[in-house]
Structure 1
Amino acid sequence: MTAPIWQKQSQASVDNEIMNYMAGEDILLDNQIFLFDIQASKAHVKGLNSITILDKGEADSLIQALDELAHDYNQGVFHLSNQFEDGHSAIEYYLVEKLGDLGKKIHTGRSRNDQVSVATRLLIKHSLKQAEDYIVSAVRACLAQAKLTKDIPMPGYTHLQRAVPSSAGMWFAGFAEAMIDNLMSLQFSLQLLDANPLGTAAGYGVNLPLDRELTTNELDFSRLQINPIYTQNSRGKFELEALFRLSQCLLDIRRFCWDLSLFTSQEFNFVNLPDNMTTGSSIMPNKRNPDLIELMRGSYATLQGAMVELQSILSLPSGYQRDLQLTKPPLLKGLKVALDTIKLFSKVVSEMSFKADVLEKAIDAPMYATDLATEQSIKGIPFREAYQSANDLKKNLADRLPMDSLTQRTSPGACANLLLDELESRFNQLL
């Protein structure tokens, strides 16, 4: 490992085993924020130029070198390895190698604390915007399926027992509305997190008139994160906020996947999944398994574990503590699992199909009892009496048809009145 950028000439070298313990994983994780770190470094250079710490020639040289570093990194020419303590020191090393003493000026007025905060914040913003795009696709897929299947009857269940006739369209519309709410939630989270921490240094500001508004605009943040102490204290807190919002998406996807796990079983046989979404058994030739659905169902647990890990780490006093380095692994793991799962959700929705004939056959006569009780109530019979009467007469309901039940369900949101236009309007207002 190269000498740490904080190493004093008079100080003995830190034991390698201790350094590997403190920073061994950090350099690997920094691969996921390295380009954002470079982006923030360019903004910092422009800020230093604006207050004449760097002249224009120096700033131009540093920005050009940072662009070359990003290119070399993307092309696999420059690697983050255990040669460096972390990605931040790798940037400084590269600039010093390229530009000599000029490269040593890059760190004026900043700390690795605000450096990692701004790179992580940029990553979170980027990830939430990706999630927004995936949720938009999911809403469109659910609404399209709801329109296509609104007249396909299917059993409605409570307690996993057949309850009343429902429709495939109503099932899809339920997940469409859930994803619209999730989109709203993600947008709120983005608004909350859209604050620039760069320029707060190690948590107490610096004795330079840093142009933080300039870097805020350069990095496309909507506002400053003003207080340096709060900037340090928000590390981990903002990461937890992002993972919580994403977890709400996975919570709905988990329920969707639970339904599919049941519906694809031979006992239900309601749904077809494309072959490319199922796998075979290594020993049983007759099997096709919904492994994708099961792993998507389990993804919420990974995100929940990441949130618990973050919450445990954040039992800290104010200011920077090295424990905060440990917020990276759960954040990065949580973001990846969430984005991968949400992205696949719309694909599953679009490519699955219900077996209309099987769904209709699964609706048996007793499921019309609630319809009968409501019909008698309309005629003036007190509902509790109608309820008892319908229960006594349920054996006489065999001549009823599923579509008759669906067309009677006209309350807002019910099968005959899904209000898909209203859902689409709410969705479009968020775009």
Structure 2
Amino acid sequence: MKLWDKGFSTDQKIDRFTVGNDRELDLVLAKYDVIASKAHAKMLGQTGLIPEQESASLIKELEQIAKSIEEGNFSIEESFEDMHSKIEFLLTEALGDPGKKIHTARSRNDQVLVAMQLYLKDELSEVKGDVKALFDLLMTLAEKHQEVLLPGYTHLQIAMPSSFGLWFSAYAESLIDDLYLLEAAYKITDQNPLGSAAGYGSSFPIDRELTTAEMGFKTLKYNVVAAQMGRGKVEKAAAIGIASVAGTVAKLAMDICLYMSQNFDFISFPDELTTGSSIMPHKKNPDVFELIRAKCNRLQAVPNELTMITTNLPSGYHRDLQLVKAVIMPAIEELKACLEFMRFSLKEVRVNTSILDDPKYDYLFSVDTLNGLVGDGMPFRDAYKKMGEEIEKGTFKPRKDLDHTHSGSIGKLCLNEIRAKMQQIS
């Protein structure tokens, strides 16, 4: 069954090529098509486009379909093109002619739009919750290990003193920036496109404000052409937020891989969270974090992939837009898995508390020692030259008793302030 069926069939090869993996993806989206269909059926009844009794029957049957989806009993056989055709078939099978009226005043285009946006609203909310959970873990670790010093590096050269408190909370605060982008994507998504039909509205006197309220959208996408133009755009907005989170998580995974190596030995994990080598019995490989790094790096390409699909398309619907589902939906699942396994593993991290006992890290304090001389009255340029000469001669003696007191430094992490920023966005 196809919603555009005019009584003749297309070649099966064309059918397979154009449908692609839509049936598989639509099994995820079907619950949202039902939500939108219930709102649409209610609107049809209240506007008098169909009898109230038929509207009530449609809603009741849609609730049964929703139950079958929730219980995992809903399927889309090859005889159906997508979720829309299967749901309409079930309605017609159960109700007869009233089932055929569900498509009154709408198009498959705005059905896809509204289902995707309802789906993205749910998924973005879930991702935001997952990000907040990782933030909370990082802040707990920052507080627990705030006094443990850690070498800071620039150019992979020993640079200045850092701390585990500074390191963990740096990634926590970076996640707040990512949430700003996710929140922006949510706002773009939270606009009801239903009623735009094929992109140019309908001659039926539909009530779009009613369906907006019924589905829980904050507002309408008023202009029907703008609503259609949102296809691909809302997915890209979500992808930008997802890519931002992925970038932060990939960098964290890279630090963890580096810090776990024997050359650094800053952190370790229980054996059950690492893997071994087939020939080297001493190996404890950070496979989980390497895969998180790779998967998150791949996720950062998703906005570009969506850009390449949608670039140079004129306004109006084009079949190219079908492909955006297959890009954004797996990406969301991938990010959620990466966030889950980062939290699962990172809560078991073991911190090396004696890293700076190694004399090679004395040079971390060259800047602090220099600053001490400046504080004692020596001009900065003279102090810098003195430090350089002592380091060159091997006579440098670090001063390790200087305080870092400004906001955001190792001596003043501002953890409460960072938590307050998160509370404002989450």
Corresponding position of 1:24: 20
Asked if the contact 1:24/1:85 (under 8 Å) is kept, the reply is: no
| TM-score of the aligned structures, taking structure 2 as reference length | 0.95
Report matched runs for 1:83-98 at 5 Å: 83-98=79-94
Q: Tell me if 1:307 matches 2:303.
A: yes
Asked if the contact 2:276/2:284 (under 8 Å) is kept, the reply is: yes
User: Aligned-pair distance for 1:399?
Assistant: 6.4
Once residues 259 and 180 of structure 2 are traced to their aligned partners in structure 1, the CA distance between those partners, rounded to angstroms, is 30
Once residues 83 and 153 of structure 1 are traced to their aligned partners in structure 2, the CA distance between those partners, rounded to angstroms, is 64
Of the three residues 349, 354, 357, the one matched with 2:354 is 357
Asked if the contact 2:188/2:237 (under 8 Å) is kept, the reply is: no
Asked if the contact 1:302/1:337 (under 8 Å) is kept, the reply is: no
| TM-score of the aligned structures, taking structure 1 as reference length | 0.94
Corresponding position of 2:204: 208
Secondary structure of 1:289 counterpart: coil
| Shift in CA distance, 348/59, structure 1 to aligned 2, threshold 3 Å | same
Identity of aligned residues (%): 38
Q: Quote the RMSD (CA, aligned, Å).
A: 1.7
Once residues 18 and 159 of structure 2 are traced to their aligned partners in structure 1, the CA distance between those partners, rounded to angstroms, is 58
Report matched runs for 1:247-326 at 5 Å: 247-315=243-311, 316-326=313-323
1:424 maps to amino acid: R
Secondary structure of 1:280 counterpart: coil
Asked if the contact 1:146/1:171 (under 8 Å) is kept, the reply is: yes
Corresponding position of 2:64: 68
Gapped regions of structure 2 (runs ≥ 5): none
Asked if the contact 1:138/1:349 (under 8 Å) is kept, the reply is: no
Asked if the contact 2:181/2:240 (under 8 Å) is kept, the reply is: no
Secondary structure of 1:154 counterpart: strand
User: Aligned-pair distance for 1:371?
Assistant: 1.0
Corresponding position of 1:99: 95
After superposition, what is the alpha-carbon deviation per residue over 1:66-117, rounded to whole angstroms, capped at 9, x for unaligned? 1111222333333123221011111111111111111100000100000000
Corresponding position of 1:51: 47
Report matched runs for 1:198-237 at 5 Å: 198-237=194-233
Q: Tell me if 1:419 matches 2:414.
A: yes
Corresponding position of 1:389: 386
Q: Tell me if 1:336 matches 2:333.
A: yes
Secondary structure of 1:162 counterpart: strand
| Shift in CA distance, 312/198, structure 1 to aligned 2, threshold 3 Å | same
Once residues 305 and 411 of structure 2 are traced to their aligned partners in structure 1, the CA distance between those partners, rounded to angstroms, is 46
Corresponding position of 2:5: 7
1:204 maps to amino acid: Y
Asked if the contact 2:289/2:342 (under 8 Å) is kept, the reply is: no
After superposition, what is the alpha-carbon deviation per residue over 1:255-288, rounded to whole angstroms, capped at 9, x for unaligned? 1111111111111111112334322334444322
Asked if the contact 2:149/2:355 (under 8 Å) is kept, the reply is: no
1:426 maps to amino acid: K
Corresponding position of 1:131: 127
Gapped regions of structure 1 (runs ≥ 5): none
Secondary structure of 1:288 counterpart: coil
2:53 maps to amino acid: G
2:294 maps to amino acid: G
Q: Tell me if 1:429 matches 2:424.
A: yes
1:28 maps to amino acid: E
After superposition, what is the alpha-carbon deviation per residue over 1:103-134, rounded to whole angstroms, capped at 9, x for unaligned? 10000010000000000011111111011111
Once residues 86 and 39 of structure 2 are traced to their aligned partners in structure 1, the CA distance between those partners, rounded to angstroms, is 17
Number of corresponding residues: 423
User: Aligned-pair distance for 1:397?
Assistant: 4.4
User: Aligned-pair distance for 1:252?
Assistant: 0.8
Secondary structure of 1:39 counterpart: helix
| Shift in CA distance, 32/389, structure 1 to aligned 2, threshold 3 Å | same
Report matched runs for 1:104-119 at 5 Å: 104-119=100-115
Once residues 40 and 64 of structure 1 are traced to their aligned partners in structure 2, the CA distance between those partners, rounded to angstroms, is 14
Q: Tell me if 1:374 matches 2:371.
A: yes
Structure 1 range deviating more: 299-308 or 260-269: 299-308
Corresponding position of 2:405: 410
Q: Tell me if 1:161 matches 2:184.
A: no
Corresponding position of 1:174: 170
Asked if the contact 1:249/1:342 (under 8 Å) is kept, the reply is: no
